[in-house]
Homo-oligomer: A and B are copies of this chain.
Amino acid sequence: MDALRFSEERKITIYDIAKEAGVSASTVSRVLTNAPGVRKDKRELVQNIIDKYSFRPNALAKGLSETKRQVIGIIMADVRNPYYAGLFVACEQAARKYGYSLLLENSLGLLENEMEQLSLMEEQRVDAVILVGGRVDDLNSNTVFVEKVNQVSNFVPVILAGKLDGTSCSRVQINAIQTMDLIMEHLISLGHTEIAILGGYDHVAASFEKRQRYKQLLSRYQIPYRKEFCETYGGYDYETGYLRMNELFAAGSVPTAVIGINDYAAVGAMNCILEHGLRVPEDISVVGFDNTDICNMTNPRLTSVDYHYEAFAEKLVAAAVNAHGDTGLPALQLIESQLVVRGSTGPVK
């Protein structure tokens, strides 16, 4: 009995509406799509019946006959990471404005998932796919992936929140150079010269660029480069921040300011500092990237770089929505960031 619950009531279709209204399916379709060429009274009549049944046309049939589905695919590294989650929700809001929905897949940074999910998006005939995290973060683009993206983008526009050498996809990217400028100018203006950066890998483009800029700025401000403050690679998590900071203490190379490669790493470093009986920011200043919720949950609160997620998302979605026509949108758009100064940074003592 219960097993029949969903099969008994046949879905209402455009023909049912048409019959009840005494018109043809085409007319109903015209009302549905707000197409012109329907007399006002007839339009109202049909609309009333539509409302009466709260009828919603089958999006599959619609997508089959039209070419637009009003769905954008988004392949993201891991929505559990607040940076991605924030961006995703911002994308959803932006998409809603355009009348689009989002089909999300988490790749967990695994190439095989990304490949499979690209196929899946193609199969689902999404109108465009946005790639965030994973392969598009690589400094050296993976050739297998490049090939796949090129194949897919013959049919569905691919938008990159990153880069992928060997493709000509539209891109929207955070200006990593500028983020480092913000932090370094802040720290240097506070008198810091012993600045360490913790976590991240050079094979990740953004991290690589940040370290490059870090070095460049040191030399610009004639601050001596200290290898032990920079060759402190590692993951993008709390543990890495904690461990790398611990190593600096162990080596006796204690900086006056620490930059975490993201907020998690920064918080790890901060806790390590506090556990060593030092104060933040009186003894050591700490900064992070991403401006996630956690910045307001530490004591002191964490100074961090905010990427302006709304603008980022808006540009990604706009690029996806407009990917078909010649929109005049530049192939690469950069997102400028801003520093949110909180209690974790202060003047060098």
A residues lining the B interface (CB < 8 Å): 2-3, 5-7, 9, 11, 54, 56-61, 63-64, 69, 78-80, 82, 85-86, 88-89, 92, 101-106, 119-120, 122-125, 151, 154-157, 238, 264, 267-268, 271, 274-275, 293-294, 296-299, 323-326
Contacts and interface: CB of A to CB of B under 8 A. Distances in A.
Contacts of A324: 3, 6-7
Given A125-B59, A154-B9, A324-B3, A102 B104 contact: yes
A90 to B, nearest CB: 10
Nearest to A103: B103
A29 B336 CA distance: 50
Contacts of A63: 60
The 7 closest A-B pairs by CB, nearest first: A3-B326, A56-B123, A80-B85, A60-B63, A59-B123, A59-B124, A60-B60
Nearest to A116: B96
A326 B4 CA distance: 9
Contacts of A104: 102, 104
Contacts of A59: 123-125
B82 A89 contact: no
A326 B293 CA distance: 44
B155 A264 contact: no
Contacts of A325: 3
Given A6-B155, A123-B57, A151-B54, A275 B299 contact: yes
Contacts of A155: 6, 9, 11
Nearest to A58: B125
Contact of A64 (B64, B69, B105, B297): B64
Contact of A125 (B60, B78, B151, B154): B60
27 contacts: A3-B324, A3-B325, A3-B326, A5-B154, A6-B157, A6-B324, A11-B155, A54-B151, A56-B119, A56-B122, A59-B123, A59-B124, A60-B60, A60-B64, A60-B124, A60-B125, A64-B64, A78-B89, A79-B85, A80-B89, A101-B120, A101-B124, A103-B103, A238-B296, A238-B297, A264-B293, A271-B298
B264 A297 contact: yes
Nearest to A82: B80
Nearest to A124: B59
A133 to B, nearest CB: 13
Contacts of A326: 2-3
A152 to B, nearest CB: 9
Contacts of A106: 89, 92
Contacts of A268: 297
B101 A103 contact: yes
Nearest to A126: B59
